[in-house]
A = this chain, B = another copy of it.
Amino acid sequence: MAAGGTGSADTASRILDAAERLVQVRGFNGFSYADVASELTITKAALHYHFASKADLGAALITRYAERFSQALAEVDAATDAAGTVPAAPAKLAAYARLYVEVLRSSRMCLCGMLAAEYPTLPEPMQVAVLGFFDDNEKWLQGVLEQGRTDGSLRFAGSSLDTARVIISSLEGAMLVARPYADVSRLQAAADRMLAGLISTSNTV
């Protein structure tokens, strides 16, 4: 658990990296400890030393993913504000959509989008963590939407909560369907339309 300092990433992190990729590509029910072990050229027993059960590994996966996503959103806030981008809200939404596009570019599904599909089969701690991820996204988007509505850069009907949910689900859905076609442009097109529908200047067709 402690930082090794030997130069190479510690084993726990490398396990999480490999498992994360496997879950995003094949799903939680579509990979095994043996898959991770063979990828890292260690044994299954070593894996169990770091993560006693698959449920533990899965929960750790979501925790790390959610933390990183949260950091990415904080960086979007910081970068947009530092650049003095005016208006800020549309730029933030565009950056948000870019996060999804980047994930799909590596032929992966969003980790929590994948786990949402498998939700009824997941151990309860994982279920809780998945909902937490979506709740965090929703909250951040709500803030951006309120900001944009206030400064007039965004225009949308209904509540910022409902709008935030539509943004999340339309991006998750576009990833879900685009991936089998190995066609990132399908997601890109959906993201562009979503943004166009929210930005004030292009709101009137």
- A interface list, Cβ under 8 A from B: 25-27, 29-30, 107, 109, 113-114, 116-121, 127, 130-131, 134, 155-158, 162-163, 165-166, 168-181, 186, 189-190, 193, 196-197, 203-205
Contacts and interface: CB of A to CB of B under 8 A. Distances in A.
B181 A173 contact: no
A180 B131 contact: yes
Q: What number of copies of this chain does the assembly contain?
A: 2
A177 B134 contact: yes
Contact of A193 (B26, B109, B162): B162
Given A155-B205, A168-B173, A169-B177, 14 more contacts: A27-B117, A27-B121, A30-B120, A116-B180, A117-B118, A127-B180, A162-B193, A165-B189, A166-B170, A166-B193, A169-B173, A169-B186, A172-B173, A204-B205
Given A119-B179, A157-B196, A205 B205 contact: no
A125 B92 CA distance: 41
A117 B109 contact: yes
A44 to B, nearest CB: 19
